Amino acid sequence: MSTQPGNPRPLYKIFNDVPPHYDIINRVFTGGMDKKWRLLAAGECLADKPKQVLDLACGTGDLAVTMAEMADYPVEITGLDFSEPMLEIARWKAGIAEKEIKFIEGDAANLPFPDAYFDCAGISFAFRNLTYRNPNAAKHLAEVFRVLRPGGKFVIVESSQPKNWFIRQFAHLYVRTFVYWMGWWVSGNRGAYRYLGLSAANYYTPEALQELLLNTGFGKVSYRRLFFGAAALHTAIK
Ligand SMILES: C[S@@+](CC[C@H](N)C(=O)[O-])C[C@H]1O[C@@H](n2cnc3c(N)ncnc32)[C@H](O)[C@@H]1O
């Protein structure tokens, strides 16, 4: 787990260093499927027409902007992330799309919102960061549960573990070699892509993630595998 001396926040340094290459590397490594997966997550977030929606650990803002573009009714969207360089790109994207989205700097371990404030919280490709061997994992889960209203929905799209053994071995090899070497080469940030490879290869199965959400207190929890299980879309109701 990477922590910066003097800054106890896990992963903070990694996510302050990667923004310039973050989007392009994502697009290349997933063959553009990350966009489609965020679209599915956005649709799931907006399905019940929530009024207040959070994009948790929003990074460069793709989920928030996708939701803003998709919504055909008034909705207030807030993106939160602890990396200001990521947020700068998110604000720029929202400007280009001419969408009003609040992007605020904050830590998922201590969300700056009152209890039961959101009807829905979505998180794309960051739940692994908040939960994989993260010393603050329990706080992150407790916080998202706290800021959702009773009956509110938590939507997670995240890399996952293919069920088929051969596909799983291939997926692990892919993230631990190709993604690692290419990510390091393009971004110059070896640590970030070693962490990505390791955390993705060792992350929860959808069943284990479902169990984690149930243990947090969520009631109805379900998931759907995407692209042979390389990713999964989870929903949980408070
Ligand atoms: C892999 S990126 C995903 C970004 C974006 N959600 C997406 O779909 O591309 C993970 C994001 O989580 C953010 N993050 C990690 N830990 C965080 C924390 N404790 N509080 C807030 N943001 C955090 C990072 O700054 C980074 O922007």
Question: Which residues lie with the beta carbon below 6 Å from any ligand 1 atom?
Answer: 11, 15, 57-60, 62-63, 81-83, 86, 107-109, 124-126, 129-130
Tell me which residue has its CA closest to atom 23 in ligand 1. 57
**More confidently predicted of 21 and 164:** 164
For residue 116, being part of any structural domain is answered with yes
Least confident of 11-25, 73-87, 100-114, 165-179: 11-25
Is 51 part of a structural domain of the chain?
yes
Task: Find the distance separating the first CA and the last CA of the chain, reported in whole Å.
Answer: 30
The DSSP H or E segment spanning 131 is: helix 127-131
Provide the CATH number for the domain around residue 137. 3.40.50.150
Q: Is residue 85 part of a domain?
A: yes
Question: Residue 19 — very low, low, confident or very high, per pLDDT cuts 50/70/90?
Answer: low
Mean local confidence (pLDDT), 201-228: 96
Cα 166 to Cα 40, 177, 232: the distances in Å are: 26, 16, 18
Which pTM does this prediction carry? Answer: 0.94
Say yes or no to pLDDT of 79 above 80: yes
For ligand 1, atom 4, name the residue with the nearest CA: 59
Residue pair 228/167 in contact by the 8 Å Cβ criterion:
yes
> Cα(50) to centroid of ligand 1, in Å?
22
* Mean pLDDT score of the chain: 92
Report which ligand 1 atom has the smallest distance to the Cα of 19.
Answer: 27
In a domain, 144, yes or no: yes
Residue 90 domain flag: yes
Query: Do 34 and 66 contact (CB within 8 A), yes or no?
Result: no
Cα(48)–Cα(25) distance, integer angstroms: 33
pLDDT of residue 8: 59
Which of 31-45, 137-151, 168-182 bottoms out in mean pLDDT, i.e. has the lowest? Answer: 168-182
Q: Please indicate, yes or no, if residue 173 is contained in any of the structural domains.
A: no
Question: What is the pLDDT confidence band of residue 187, given thresholds at 50, 70 and 90?
Answer: confident
**Rounded-to-integer distance, Cα 7 and Cα 26, Å:** 27
The verdict on residue 191 lying in a domain is no
Q: Which of 15, 53, 141, 175, when mutated, tests ligand 1's pocket best, judged by the most ligand atoms within 8 Å of its CB?
A: 15
pLDDT of residue 3: 39
- The residue segments making up the domain with residue 135 are 12-161+204-237
Residue 166 has pLDDT above 90, yes or no: yes
Structural domains counted in the chain: 1
CA of 130 to the centre of ligand 1 (A): 8
> DSSP labels for 92-111?
HHHHHTT---EEEE--TTS-
With respect to residue 186, please indicate whether it lies within any of the assigned structural domains. no
Is 126's pLDDT higher than 80?
yes
